[in-house]
Amino acid sequence: MVVAIVGTALAVSFATGKLKISSFANVVSTISIFIPLAYLVFIYSSKKTEKHEKKKVLCLLPPFICNAVTLLIWTQTISILAIFYEEKVNRVIFGVEIPAASFQTIPAIFAVCFGSLLTMLWTKLGKKQPFGTTKMGFGTILWGLGAMIIALLYIIYPGDAKVNAWWIVLFYAVLMVAEGFTCPIGYSITAVAAPKAFVTQMMTVWSMSQSVGAALNMILVNFYKEGSEVPFFIGIGAVVAILGAVVFAFSKKLAEGMGMEREA
Q: Which residue ranges make up each domain of the chain?
A: 21-257
The residue among 135 and 17 whose pLDDT is bigger is 135
Residue 264 has a pLDDT of: 45
Which is more confident, 183 or 80? 183
Q: What pTM was estimated for this model as a whole?
A: 0.85
Residue 41: strand, helix, or coil: helix
Q: 21-257: which CATH number, 3.40.50.300, 3.65.10.10, 1.10.3720.10, 1.20.1250.20?
A: 1.20.1250.20
Measure the CA–CA gap between 260 and 264, rounded to whole angstroms.
Answer: 6
- Rounded Cα gap, residues 246 and 143, in angstroms: 14
Q: What is the pLDDT of residues 86-129, one digit of tens each?
A: 888 888 777 778 787 777 888 889 999 998 999 899 889 888 88
Contacts of 180-184 spanning 24+ positions with Cβ under 8 A: 180/111, 180/114, 180/115, 180/117, 180/118, 180/139, 181/118, 181/135, 181/136, 181/138, 181/139, 181/142, 182/66, 182/67, 182/70, 182/135, 182/136, 182/139, 182/140, 182/143, 184/115
| Cα 156 versus chain centre, distance | 26
Mean pLDDT of all residues in the chain? 86
Return the CA Rg of the chain: 21
Give 135: exposed, middle or buried? Use CB within 10 Å, 0-12, 13-18, 19+: buried
Residue 37 has a pLDDT of: 87
User: Span 56-85, mean pLDDT?
Assistant: 87
The amino acid at 11: A
H or E stretch covering 171: helix 165-193
Q: Which residue has the higher pLDDT, 18 or 76?
A: 76
